[in-house]
Copies of this chain bind each other. A is one copy, B any other.
Amino acid sequence: MLDTLFHNATVVTAAADFAVFQEALVGVRAGRIERIETAPVGATLPRAKETVDAGGGLILPGLVNTHTHLPMSLFRGLADDLPLQQWLSEHIFPAEAKHIDPEAVRLGASLAAAELLLSGTTTCCDGYFYETEAAEAVERMGLRAVMGQGVIDFPAPGVPDPSRNIDHAEDFLRRWKNAADRIRPSIFCHSPYTCSSATLIAAKKAASRHGVLFQIHVAETRMEADQIRAEHNLSPVAYLDRLGVLDADTLIVHGVWLDGEDIDLLAARGCPVSHNPQSNMKLASGVAPVAKMLQAGIRVGLGTDGCASNNDLDLFAEMDTAAKLHKAVLLDPTVLGAEQVLAMATCNGARAIGWGDEIGSVEVGKAADLIVLDTAAPHLMPMYRPVSHLVYAARGSDVRDVMVGGRFVVRDRKLLTADVEELMDRVAVRCRTIGTSSK
């Protein structure tokens, strides 16, 4: 007998053939997808402990957000529309120095997890400090996540002595390896310009030793690319390659300022890339050459970045932006088509963070990370092609139900894993002091 049966749905699998099943059912048992098949309304349904009518809506894999800084949800909208250095040095860095402590990280990560789940993201790939506290919060909220302990060559929240940053990160890996089904630890090096070559090499070695993902912001801004070139006479990507840190388990975040050689190098090393169009746009970093990356066969996932630079975590909005941005810049309406972009937010995102064997598509044997979209709304009518709607018309608020690993975490748009009202009250109280001190 199945644990959960979804029926009366159109299933967008995001599997290799991108099959779409009309009038279909999805059966879940022991946390995994056990069957997917066509079942016209009125057909006899398989037995299940719980049967859920999807109401003619869409079922798709839970979305995968390949780049977040969850606790920064507390800085959402704190400062916008400013030159990057002023935004960082006058607002974000002071706010982090003053307000980021273990309790703030728990609170901010919980708020972000609530936002992610309610808008259909079931997995994120995070990087921040006090990452143990963030991982505990995320685990409790029911999200699946790669959690990366931050490494930077400056005093950082929870790591006052930068000479201890690798040890600290390795402690984090030991603590979280196999500690929780839905949490995978990782190391997140801030960037090639804030970490020395020794730090980068040591951090990557530690990540490899533990068999975990190594994440790093690379070539986000022209300033960074110019600085690395001035210091090393190499592009950021070529510099990292010389250090030996580029391989299939190194997630390149941003990759805005890449030339053709950088793209070829990333493809040759098998490096996945996290594309964060809205953050890159809002901070005026530029437009990543994603169409070329895809042509080169690079695994590209989609990310929102942190709430301080987006200012939300809605991956539906991010899909819409990704699909449109590159068309405008390249003057070519055929690049980044809807299917390709949906793949970035699902199967390819999962592959980019090294979890593609378990999640990212609706396939028999995969973890039951599923979302149900309510499509009975004027902005989703009519519906000729579901994939088009998912990218170009749907919003996070259309997500009705969310399941992670076979367990419901959202039902009828309500989060089941936390008291959202109480969480928002705590956020409001805590953030009163942040708003005041940043002015």
A80 adjacent to chain B (CB < 8 Å): yes
In Å, the complex CA distance between A321 and B328 comes to 12
Cα distance, A396 to B423, chains bound together (Å): 23
- In the bound complex, how far is the Cα of B335 from the Cα of A82, in angstroms? 9
Chain B residues in 8 Å Cβ range of A377: 118
A333-B87 CB under 8 A given contacts A111-B381, A338-B81, A395-B314: yes
Q: Is A180's beta carbon under 8 Å from chain B?
A: no
Copies per assembly = 2
Contact A393 B331, CB 8 Å, known A77-B388, A381-B76 = no
- A305 interface residue (CB < 8 Å to B): no
Q: How many Å from the CB of A338 to the closest CB on chain B?
A: 6
Pick from B282, B283, B287, B328: contact of A323, CB under 8 Å = B282
Residue in B115, B222, B329, B389 whose CB lies within 8 Å of A331: B222
Interface stretch of the complex, out of A47-55, A159-167, A427-435: A427-435
Please give the number of chain A residues whose Cβ is less than 8 angstroms from any Cβ of chain B in the complex.
Answer: 76
| A428 CB contacts on chain B under 8 angstroms | 381-382
- Find A119's partner among B314, B328, B379, B420 (CB 8 Å cutoff): B379
Contacting A382 at CB < 8 Å: which of B282, B317, B431? B431
Tell me which residues across on chain B come within 8 A of A325, comparing CB atoms: 281, 325, 328
List 11 additional A-B contacts (Cβ < 8 Å) besides A77-B392, A286-B331. A76-B382, A82-B333, A82-B334, A111-B378, A115-B378, A284-B331, A284-B332, A311-B392, A379-B396, A381-B424, A382-B427
Can you pick out 16 interface pairs between chain A and chain B where the beta carbons lie within 8 Å of each other? A73-B381, A74-B382, A76-B393, A77-B389, A77-B392, A80-B338, A80-B385, A81-B337, A87-B333, A111-B378, A115-B378, A284-B331, A284-B332, A284-B333, A382-B427, A382-B430
